[in-house]
């Protein structure tokens, strides 16, 4: 009895004593536990927050991809008029169909190709017909830095309607139409495609753009060109 009540007294005494080392330790441990829990919670919230921020940034950058369609006339756009509109249609100046800048073959019956794509075509299709639609003087120029494609045939744009029959034997073949800045070649491409030619390709930017590419990106840049 004595010992029990004595224990109880001691126990009560301990609980009531704020300076008791056992209680001090428990209190310190509790504080540490709370601190650690707090830090973990803060870190968790921080990680969650930054994750949310990243998601928001990602969503914004995905939304930043241009959804607006942009059209311009490539024959005119290569020279003096670079007007961009947001609807398909025809150029008020030259009457050519406007080209979707982000999808240059939308709505066309011929195919617009980049210099790189033309390089691949020359390398992979030995039957490719190369049609130069510049003037005969430009085609044969010994002073022009542009040169011309090897094995190219020359029918100037001004003569295409009268000489289209010359191309009849190539009707089933791939024909690459080109000029100096791709102002004339889209028009001839359209004339041929409208006349039933199914594999008409147009070199976007013409020979000027061809020579402006870096040779590392355009392996056949020099080898495809005949210079005088």
- The footprint of Zn ion (CB under 5 A) covers 73, 75-76, 91, 93-94
- Rounded to a whole number of angstroms, the minimum distance from the CB of residue 52 to Zn ion is 48
Q: Which is nearer to Zn ion, 179 or 224 (CB)?
A: 179
Cα-Cα-Cα-Cα torsion 105, 96, 101, 220, nearest 10 degrees, comes to: 60
DSSP one-letter string for 178-200: E-SSSSSHHHHHHHHHHTT-S-E
The nearest distance, CB 97 to Zn ion, in angstroms, is 9
DSSP character at residue 169: G
CA 135/CA 41 separation, integer angstroms = 76
- How far apart are the C-alpha atoms of 185 and 82, rounded to whole Å? 17
Minimum Å gap between C-beta 113 and Zn ion is 20
Nearer to Zn ion, 91 or 133 (CB): 91
Residue closer to Zn ion, measured from CB, 90 or 171 = 90
Q: Which residues contact 128 (CB under 8 A, 6 or more apart)?
A: 121, 122, 173, 174, 175, 176
> Which residue, 75 or 147, is less far from Zn ion as judged by CB?
75
* CB closer to Zn ion out of 74 and 221: 74
């Amino acid at each position: 009895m004595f010992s029990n009540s004595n224990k109880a007294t001691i126990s009560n005494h301990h609980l009531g004593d704020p300076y008791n080392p056992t209680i001090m330790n428990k209190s310190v441990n509790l504080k540490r536990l709370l601190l650690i829990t707090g830090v973990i919670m803060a870190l968790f919230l921080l990680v969650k927050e930054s994750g949310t921020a990243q998601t928001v940034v990602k969503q914004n950058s995905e939304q930043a991809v241009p959804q607006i369609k942009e059209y311009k006339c490539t024959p005119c756009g290569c020279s003096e008029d670079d007007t961009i509109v947001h609807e398909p249609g025809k150029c008020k100046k030259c009457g050519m169909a406007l080209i979707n800048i982000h999808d240059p073959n939308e709505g066309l019956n011929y195919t617009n190709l980049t210099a790189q794509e033309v390089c691949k075509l020359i390398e992979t299709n030995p039957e490719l017909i190369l049609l130069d639609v510049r003037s005969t003087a430009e085609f044969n120029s010994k002073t022009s830095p542009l040169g011309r494609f090897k094995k190219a045939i020359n029918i100037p744009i001004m003569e295409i309607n009268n000489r289209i029959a010359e191309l009849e034997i190539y009707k089933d073949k791939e024909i690459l139409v080109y000029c100096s800045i791709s102002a004339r070649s889209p028009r001839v491409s359209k004339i041929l495609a409208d006349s039933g030619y199914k594999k008409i390709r147009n070199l976007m930017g013409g020979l000027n753009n061809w020579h402006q590419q870096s040779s590392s990106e355009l392996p056949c840049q020099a080898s495809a060109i005949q210079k005088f």
